[in-house]
Amino acid sequence: MSDTKTKLDITPLADRVIVKPLEPKEVKKGGIIIPDTAKEKPQEGEIVAVGKGRTTEDGKLIPMEVKVGDKVLYGKYSGTEIKINDEDYLIMKEEDILAITK
């Protein structure tokens, strides 16, 4: 469990996390450059803040499995896009995270 207040001065509630999407590694094949508007959204990011965890109906706290600094994979359309200090982030529930990468 991580009670985190990052440099963002924002703490997600319950089982939500804030993810900084990682820029995809740009691969050009055959000299074709794909414009930014046609590129797919990144599906990998780094956790920058986590909530305390999910509370069950009987009041028990289920701690988060992810922590600040974890690199994660998430669904293509997961989360809500937010902008803080001119930086793009996603806020999503922990259940939207598919895996932790190494």
The CATH number of residue 101's host domain is 2.30.33.40
Mean pLDDT, the chain, integer: 84
Q: Flag whether pLDDT at 24 surpasses 80.
A: no
Output the CA–CA distances (angstroms, integers) from residue 3 to 13, 48, 52, 77, 81, in the order listed: 10, 12, 6, 26, 22
14 found inside a domain: yes
* Segment 11-29 mean pLDDT: 83
33 found inside a domain: no
Q: Which two tokens stand for residue 7?
A: 């440099």
Task: Provide φ and ψ at 86, rounded to 5°.
Answer: 60, 20
28 found inside a domain: no
30 found inside a domain: no
83 found inside a domain: yes
- Domain of residue 8 covers 1-23+40-102
34 found inside a domain: no
Q: Reduce the DSSP state of residue 42 to 3 states and report it.
A: coil
32 found inside a domain: no
Alpha-carbon span 85 to 1, nearest angstrom:
27
84 found inside a domain: yes
pLDDT classification of 6: cutoffs 50, 70, 90: very low
Domain count, the chain: 1
* Segment 27-32 mean pLDDT: 62
